[in-house]
Structure 1
Amino acid sequence: MIKNSQFLKAIVPNSAYYNKETFEKEQERVFQASWYYVGLTLDLQEHNDFLTREIGGKSVVIQNFKGELKAFHNVCTHRFNKIHSKKCGNGPLACPYHNWNYNKDGIPFGIPLKKEFQGLDKESLNELQLTQFRLDTCGKFVFVNVSNDAPLLTEFLGSSAEKLLEISSMLGRKAEHYEIQNKANWKIVIENTLEGYHISSVHPNTFYKQGFNLKSTVDFGNHGDHTDMTLHLSENAEKDKKRERFHKLLKDRPFQPDGFYHLLVFPNLSIGSLFGVTAYIGSIEPVSENESVFSYDLYETNFGEGRLIDENISEVLRYSSIEFTRTTLEEDREICENVQKGIEQSNALIGVLNSSEVRIWDFQNTYMKFIEREENVLI
């Protein structure tokens, strides 16, 4: 990782933020080749709970089969209808078109009018098995890889796994699930989360009021393809009695960063936590070369070992944290969409960075490592 650099040139060409051919290449070389964050085990606790995600142009279903999590291609092998159309829910792995059901191995069973299919025996049913994808977890975080050549998840995560385990331990009640539609390339949205340089100008009513500004010191961490940072309160920040009161009430919380903590697990997992009191677990999902969705779950902390905080404290915390997070990310959405418009009109080939934006350089370096790989042999 580069440190103490006053001037860095960006690595990713500006055209990669709006070029359709580049976006199509990313589907295979970045998203299909990576371990892609899909959700939390907290969303998949009951039998037949499911999530669906688009990963590199493939529709994927992640489903609980009596406590065992599996990931399959979310396309029926009979007439190719999507099996689950909702992003989440509870129900058997059954296609709504002709009611073909699939078991935990992805093999069809309980087929209506089965005798009308000539030669549909056990062997041929096995041939109609859904394509299964690799699934693994780190703490409460669930990842899927749709290629056949990625390293083990533990190897892919490196030292960021320790952070995911630490954050897993703090998750208490879910405050809300929220989605923000961005008319901006997914890389622009991610890069905006990687630095605090914009806080004073873009977030005057949220972070700036909390005491974060251009004089705030920042600690950067590098975890291979993944990075984190802790943005500290500026030295001249006024004491916030309300914040100090909350910190005292929540002094036993398991995760206590000294400021705003952010972790990016390449390519799509974005986690932010203000003093460990709450945390948003976000996923940046590419839609097209100039569209993306920022989906996040906002959690309040617990007192360790899953012990929930008092409901009265929770109610106050929930209201303030929802408002803070929504306001902040809405401000980010507006600036990202303006950047998208500007980058499409710019004559410059690349951008420039300063030392406080070094995580953008790291992200772009990882991105180019994936995008310049040879064609992958994918399932």
Structure 2
Amino acid sequence: MSQFLSAIIPNEKYYEKSAFEQENQKVFQESWYYIGLTSSLAEKNDFITTDIGGKSVVIQNIKGVIKAFHNVCTHRFNKIKTERAGNGSLTCPYHGWSYNQDGIPFGIPLKKEFQGLDKESLQTLCLPEFKVDFCGKFVFVNVSNSEVSLEEFLGESAIKLKEISIMIGRKIEYHEIPNKANWKIVVENTLEGYHITNVHPTTFFKQGFTLKSEVDFEVQGQHTNMTLHLAESHKDDKKRAKFHKLLANRPFQPEGFFHQLVFPNLSIGSLFGITVYIGSIKSVSPDESVFAYELYETNLGEGELLSDAISEVVKFSSIEFTRTTLAEDKEICENVQKGMEQSNATKGVLNSSEIRIWEFQKSYMNLINK
């Protein structure tokens, strides 16, 4: 491999409205899109909402079955669910129309006042339904007519998703970070460790991750992962070794920081398998995005939770570490957005440690050019 590669995505695709509209259709609406974890949909009437390529979607537990529908009432087109997540029947708050497990209206106030609203016509007013599938505890939705299954879409990347599903213990927090930066800039920032010495001096660098750290990469179709190892000078930290011994039975034990990208925007990171963040990098506008993530602590195998004392230590340190890191990334990503819009260059350059960015850009442009 040469020492640097030319970037593939032209700069204008990070800020032009036409590119934003194009990727909504060709990238987000054509991909299997991560929604959340099964634990968020475990109870009857639990729901999650999201936006997939400009299309509002509600995913709901209806009588024990997870369904996904267009989140727009077919009566007068009000958004049915406005909260990010919650529990409640699939009922529009405007006029009270309720929908059943097939998306058909079944509870309509003053139904007799609608002329000709019989059983057959109600079928024509059903909510458009989308495909739902699962990988371990991860829930995905596809809003396209594509015949590609989730299994085919994920390929070998499903192996790590299932491993991470097994490690998930107590939820520590849900947090959102708005960025005045295109979603692709935020994604690409997660794909390399080249920046950590300069950008993360009190988190990753302090933990022992440096430019001298070895990195293992895996490319699995559209998806990639990496494990960033500790620098040799930090591998014999006795304090860390003592704490890790208390968690020796944790199911997932990467030798450093593990990061996985499930294309296009599911970002997963775990430091030594003690905690894991599961984040969705959501496109809002050509130059705005939101990094929404859930942070979980590990369990100790067979679903055994950490002791309360250890859990408190993990909770405190992981919240501080994650929020500090992502705040530093936010500042950088927003500066990159400004610089990209001002630059006369058409593309950037990448070195061999940024190969995952090149792979991401290749997958993106393959879809855009279809």
- Tell whether the structures are fold-level matches, with TM greater than 0.5: yes
Paired with 2:265 and 2:309, the residues of 1 have a C-alpha distance of 34
4+ aligned runs moved over 6 Å, structure 1 = none
After TM superposition, list the pairs within 5 Å mapping 1:26-105 onto structure 2.
Answer: 26-105=23-102
**Corresponding residue for residue 104 of structure 2:** 107
Out of 235, 244, 248, the position equivalent to 1:247 is 244
Q: Secondary structure at the match of 2:234?
A: coil
Say if 1:10 and 1:353, in contact at 8 Å, map to a contact too. Answer: yes
Give the number of equivalent residue pairs.
370
Residue 360 (str. 1) matches residue 357 (str. 2): yes
Q: How far does the alpha carbon of each residue in 1:146-175 deviate from its partner, in whole angstroms, 9 at most, with x for none?
A: 000140000000000011000000000000
Say if 2:63 and 2:101, in contact at 8 Å, map to a contact too. Answer: no
Paired with 2:71 and 2:104, the residues of 1 have a C-alpha distance of 13
Structure 1 residue 6: deviation in Å? 1.1
After TM superposition, list the pairs within 5 Å mapping 1:298-377 onto structure 2.
Answer: 298-373=295-370
**Corresponding residue for residue 191 of structure 1:** 188
Paired with 1:177 and 1:305, the residues of 2 have a C-alpha distance of 24
Structure 1 residue 239: deviation in Å? 3.7
Paired with 2:69 and 2:215, the residues of 1 have a C-alpha distance of 41
| Residue type of the alignment partner of 1:139 | G
Q: How far does the alpha carbon of each residue in 1:277-299 deviate from its partner, in whole angstroms, 9 at most, with x for none?
A: 00000000000000000000000
Residue 282 (str. 1) matches residue 282 (str. 2): no
Paired with 1:163 and 1:45, the residues of 2 have a C-alpha distance of 22
Out of 216, 226, 229, the position equivalent to 1:229 is 226
Cα RMSD for the two superposed structures:
0.8
Q: How far does the alpha carbon of each residue in 1:43-73 deviate from its partner, in whole angstroms, 9 at most, with x for none?
A: 1110000000000100000000122100000
Say if 1:11 and 1:365, in contact at 8 Å, map to a contact too. Answer: yes
Structure 1 residue 238: deviation in Å? 6.1
TM-score by length of 2: 0.99
Structure 1 regions of 5+ residues with no counterpart? 374-379
Residue 125 (str. 1) matches residue 103 (str. 2): no
Paired with 2:362 and 2:279, the residues of 1 have a C-alpha distance of 22
Q: Secondary structure at the match of 2:232?
A: coil
Q: How far does the alpha carbon of each residue in 1:240-279 deviate from its partner, in whole angstroms, 9 at most, with x for none?
A: 3332222100000000000000000001100000000000
| Residue type of the alignment partner of 2:275 | T
Say if 1:261 and 1:272, in contact at 8 Å, map to a contact too. Answer: yes
| Residue type of the alignment partner of 1:272 | G
Paired with 1:306 and 1:73, the residues of 2 have a C-alpha distance of 35
Q: How far does the alpha carbon of each residue in 1:189-243 deviate from its partner, in whole angstroms, 9 at most, with x for none?
A: 0000000000000000000000000000000001110000000001122643332
Q: Secondary structure at the match of 1:196?
A: coil
Taking only the aligned residue pairs, the percentage that are identical comes to 70
Q: Secondary structure at the match of 1:215?
A: coil
| Residue type of the alignment partner of 1:15 | E
Paired with 1:230 and 1:290, the residues of 2 have a C-alpha distance of 30
| Residue type of the alignment partner of 1:17 | Y
Q: Secondary structure at the match of 1:125?
A: helix
Paired with 1:150 and 1:31, the residues of 2 have a C-alpha distance of 15
**Corresponding residue for residue 7 of structure 2:** 10
Structure 1 residue 118: deviation in Å? 0.7
Q: Secondary structure at the match of 1:11?
A: coil
Structure 1 residue 5: deviation in Å? 3.0
Say if 1:33 and 1:150, in contact at 8 Å, map to a contact too. Answer: no
Say if 1:140 and 1:165, in contact at 8 Å, map to a contact too. Answer: yes
| Residue type of the alignment partner of 1:67 | G
| Residue type of the alignment partner of 1:290 | D
**Corresponding residue for residue 376 of structure 1:** none
Paired with 1:114 and 1:288, the residues of 2 have a C-alpha distance of 40
Q: Secondary structure at the match of 2:268?
A: strand
Say if 2:95 and 2:109, in contact at 8 Å, map to a contact too. Answer: yes
Shift of the 23–174 alpha-carbon distance from structure 1 to 2, 3 Å rule, reads same
**Corresponding residue for residue 377 of structure 1:** none
**Corresponding residue for residue 199 of structure 2:** 202
Q: How far does the alpha carbon of each residue in 1:81-109 deviate from its partner, in whole angstroms, 9 at most, with x for none?
A: 00000110000000000000000100001
| Residue type of the alignment partner of 1:216 | S
